[in-house]
Structure 1
Amino acid sequence: MEGDGSRELALQLLLEDLDQLEDMQKGKQVVGNRTDIELAIETMRDSVLAAQTSIKDQTIAISTSTAIATDQNILMSLKRDERVAEQDRQYAIGLDSNAPLDWTRREPVQEYDEENDAVSTVMGDLMDRMTLSDIITNGEGSSRTRTFGMECVSCLEQGDVTTSFTSSCGHIFCRDCTRQLFLGATQDEELYPPRCCGQIMPPGIALRILDYNELRAFSERAIEYAAKDRVYCAEPTCSKFIPPWAIEGEHGTCPECHREMHLPCRSLAHPGVDCPMDDTLQCVLAMADTEKWRRCFNCRTMVELQHGCNHITCRCGREFCYVCGLVWKSCSCPRWHVNRLVAMGNQAVEEEAGPNADIAVRQAIYNRVVENLRHHDDVGCEHYRNSQWAWRNRGSLQCEVCNHILPEYIFMCTNCRMRACNRCRRHRLR
């Protein structure tokens, strides 16, 4: 089939990228624990292997079908020749015996040609229907919906059933919104891997909605997101991520601009010269120290806590304590800063009690909310569950995840009281 060569090449390149990404994950977590990235790698590899197998099976099927069609033509031709020969023999016998000839018994040869054409038409139609969209599916069957009149859970628009996709949690997305989820993951680490309601979307979907360049970018971002101590090109006009295989010893080579980096100081290579002081970085670190910001121990991203408890989930997926920076639950630091706890209690009173509410009522609300917040981590939030969110119709509110202010359609977690827009609660929160 036309295009199979390029498809097989794209799938093979994806497998190589997945192998490199898997090697980078070894030794980064406790034995027996599997990260979201590892699950995504396994699922996507299964999808790619299934696609490769399906393409091979399709090639064999088409080859077999073509052979059958060719053999059928030959057999029909031989059968037609035999029929003509038999009719000629009967005609000769009739001439020799001077018997009257019954021309009505002479069957037209055209009947076999028509049968031949009908079989060829059916075979051709079957081969035409064997398209790539029929063979590339996710691990749980075709992601195409089987009902009509689908509504996209993201944009709420009625969409074409033949181009919709069903996520692992059962929600239906139109093609445009699905593309935005996968393309968004190449721009925003918090959206990787693409997921809905806490469940990773089948990576095989990417093979159906992204072109080769987009798939390549998706794989490259996955490798970048998995890196523990990321290195970026120090050339200001480049700043591309330098993958692990481009690093040797204390030096790395940018795959984009080919400039050489000196890793200890994160600057361009400077043979025979002492490492320069990065004044900009020192200013940022000084500000972070003043503002009490914390860096993720895994990806070194700077994090500022504006609301909530001291339990931080970095965009790379690692969890740590905002007070000391250690892995979450490996220290004895307090779960809450008292000022933030008091602020959230007062906020709950303003929202739930009327302006003329009795002092005892207001105090009861405050005590209940503060006590729940102090112990909410003992139960844990499952932000992927719809039942854990309540819609807050109280005018313009800010999403605490993306910081966008929306006039309405803001939800609040009934446990930790986090506020999030619909997109963030479905696709960002883990």
Structure 2
Amino acid sequence: MALSISKAIYNDGVALAVAAQEENRALADRMTAVRMAGQPQLAQQQPLQRLAAEMAHQATRALESRYATNRPDDAMSLDGASVSCTAESSKDAARRHLKNEPMSECVACVDSFPHSDMIEAPCAHLYCRNCTTKLIEDSLVDESLFPPRCCRLHIPLSSVRASLGHDIARRFEAKSIEREDPYRTYCSNAACAKYLMPYEVYGYIGSCRHCQRQTCTLCKRRVHPGTPCVDEHGEVLNLAREQGWQRCARCRNLIELGIGCNHITCRCRYEFCYVCGVEWKDCTCELWDEERLLLRAQQVAGRDQVEPPAQVEVARVAQNLLERHECDHNGRWKRIDQGQQCEECHDYLPDFILECRQCHLRACARCRMNRL
């Protein structure tokens, strides 16, 4: 129950921080509309806007304060007095575990460790402490791995906090707010480029607490009071339109589809249609472009073959792709013992690759468990 309460507090904190920023932006919109209409600004608008900014600040600080007052190395006695705890040395712990406990294999590094030292993911896969920490740390710098998950099930912070330490847990909380922020803005100072927390944004101006640079949250450039935003990326966006590229509505990244269906999952986990750009599946667009379907079918049918695949085999694979386009990869994967490139992260695996028996996607073990 304590873990459930902790999770609820964490989720509410993230939601409050983002909601407060929404209120801040709404107030800024209202003030802009009033000015454009030539109407006098109401006296209470400025206090309201400050209140919205303060809400965002308090919600974010509340997340941080939980770690400032509840450090993992602190403890309390039953009467409320502070108790000093001395950690057991790793060598002593290892000897004790080896004598009394069964060993379990880590699904990531495949080394064996005492079972009590393992961390169980919601899907029942076991991770050692080092691999758990690495997965969390990697998710903080690679958006496609966030939130950390195994077999498409999110690994709750409450289940791994004891293994992470204060610093990583605090960074995880901050990253959660960043990933949930639909208007995320980064410092326009290229040497800084830090994410601007909701409480650092006042109206449409973000003030970086690290370098004090002010950034316009609309055009993402240095603040430009009294002048309209200038689009310095117009040529790139024009090229994107000419080439038929799409832009993610959430994170605004440009995406070019080479081979595959029109169901796009951005690295920020937003799903949309590549044809029209709306959220998946709120449109009537076709799932596959015929040319891309044929290219993918030829790619799959021609794997590991010297000669081009027969047309009948290409047609069979194409039909399978049409039927399996929403593959959840939950079936058994086939191991192929030869060097291959992962179709997800594009890393080259010299020893083996895994292939989904349903849709024939080839991926490394890490992408299979933590990215797909």
Shorter-chain TM-score above 0.5: yes
**Correspondence for 2:279:** 327
Alignment equivalent of 1:318, drawn from 244, 248, 270? 270
**Correspondence for 2:303:** 351
Instruction: Give the superposition deviation at 1:170.
Output: 1.1
**Correspondence for 2:312:** 364
Provide, for residues 15-51 of structure 1, a one-character-per-residue CA deviation record: whole Å limited to 9, x for no partner. 9865441225669xxxxxxxxxxxxxxxxx9xx89x9
**Correspondence for 1:169:** 123
- Between the aligned partners of 2:219 and 2:164, the Cα distance in structure 1 is 38
Instruction: Give the superposition deviation at 1:222.
Output: 0.9
Relative to 1, partners in 2 of residues 1:353 and 1:274: Cα closer, same or farther, differing over 3 Å?
closer
Instruction: Give the superposition deviation at 1:207.
Output: 1.8
Q: Which structure has the greater CA radius of gyration?
A: 1
**Correspondence for 1:188:** 142
Structure 1 residues without counterparts, runs of 5 or longer:
1-12, 28-44, 67-126, 132-145
* TM-score normalised by length of structure 1: 0.63
**Correspondence for 2:241:** 289
8 Å CA contact 2:264, 2:272 repeated in 1:
yes
Structure 2 residues without counterparts, runs of 5 or longer:
1-5, 21-62, 89-99
Aligned-pair identity (%): 33
Alignment equivalent of 2:261, drawn from 304, 309, 319? 309
Alignment equivalent of 2:327, drawn from 355, 360, 381? 381
8 Å CA contact 2:18, 2:198 repeated in 1:
no
Instruction: Give the superposition deviation at 1:391.
Output: 2.2
**Correspondence for 1:337:** 289
**Correspondence for 2:97:** none
8 Å CA contact 1:182, 1:206 repeated in 2:
no
AA partner of residue 21 (structure 1): V
8 Å CA contact 1:185, 1:193 repeated in 2:
yes
**Correspondence for 2:106:** 152
Relative to 1, partners in 2 of residues 1:266 and 1:337: Cα closer, same or farther, differing over 3 Å?
same
**Correspondence for 1:425:** 368
AA partner of residue 22 (structure 1): A
Higher helix share: 1
Secondary structure of 1:159's aligned partner: strand
8 Å CA contact 1:308, 1:418 repeated in 2:
no
Alignment equivalent of 2:334, drawn from 383, 390, 402? 390
- Between the aligned partners of 2:356 and 2:183, the Cα distance in structure 1 is 33
8 Å CA contact 1:147, 1:161 repeated in 2:
yes
Relative to 1, partners in 2 of residues 1:183 and 1:128: Cα closer, same or farther, differing over 3 Å?
closer
Provide, for residues 246-272 of structure 1, a one-character-per-residue CA deviation record: whole Å limited to 9, x for no partner. 212121111221211222332112233
AA partner of residue 334 (structure 2): A
Provide, for residues 361-413 of structure 1, a one-character-per-residue CA deviation record: whole Å limited to 9, x for no partner. x3432222111112223xx3223x2x2422233x3322121111212322222
Instruction: Give the superposition deviation at 1:422.
Output: 0.6
AA partner of residue 157 (structure 1): D
Secondary structure of 1:267's aligned partner: coil
**Correspondence for 1:229:** 183
**Correspondence for 1:200:** 154
- Between the aligned partners of 1:417 and 1:25, the Cα distance in structure 2 is 39
Relative to 1, partners in 2 of residues 1:273 and 1:228: Cα closer, same or farther, differing over 3 Å?
closer
- Between the aligned partners of 1:405 and 1:274, the Cα distance in structure 2 is 47
- Between the aligned partners of 1:15 and 1:341, the Cα distance in structure 2 is 44
Provide, for residues 165-222 of structure 1, a one-character-per-residue CA deviation record: whole Å limited to 9, x for no partner. 1111111111110100111111111111211111122312432122222222111111
8 Å CA contact 1:160, 1:174 repeated in 2:
no
Provide, for residues 268-312 of structure 1, a one-character-per-residue CA deviation record: whole Å limited to 9, x for no partner. 12233444442xx23432343344321111221222223211101
Alignment equivalent of 2:251, drawn from 286, 299, 303? 299
Matches within 5 A, 1:258-277: 258-277=212-231
Instruction: Give the superposition deviation at 1:156.
Output: 0.8
- Between the aligned partners of 2:86 and 2:222, the Cα distance in structure 1 is 55
Secondary structure of 1:326's aligned partner: coil
**Correspondence for 1:60:** 78
- Between the aligned partners of 2:87 and 2:79, the Cα distance in structure 1 is 9
- Between the aligned partners of 1:203 and 1:182, the Cα distance in structure 2 is 9
Matches within 5 A, 1:134-149: 148-149=102-103
Provide, for residues 26-78 of structure 1, a one-character-per-residue CA deviation record: whole Å limited to 9, x for no partner. 69xxxxxxxxxxxxxxxxx9xx89x97x9999521786xx9xxxxxxxxxxxx
8 Å CA contact 1:182, 1:194 repeated in 2:
yes
- Following TM superposition, the consecutive aligned residue runs of length 4 or more in structure 1 with deviations greater than 6 angstroms are 13-17, 54-57, 127-131
8 Å CA contact 1:233, 1:261 repeated in 2:
yes
AA partner of residue 23 (structure 1): L
Secondary structure of 1:261's aligned partner: strand
AA partner of residue 188 (structure 1): D
Secondary structure of 2:16's aligned partner: helix
- Pick which of 282-291 and 324-333 moved more: 282-291
* TM-score normalised by length of structure 2: 0.73
**Correspondence for 2:359:** 416
8 Å CA contact 2:18, 2:177 repeated in 1:
no
8 Å CA contact 1:148, 1:161 repeated in 2:
yes
How many aligned positions are there? 310
Q: RMSD in angstroms over aligned alpha carbons? A: 3.5
Secondary structure of 1:391's aligned partner: strand
Relative to 1, partners in 2 of residues 1:298 and 1:257: Cα closer, same or farther, differing over 3 Å?
same
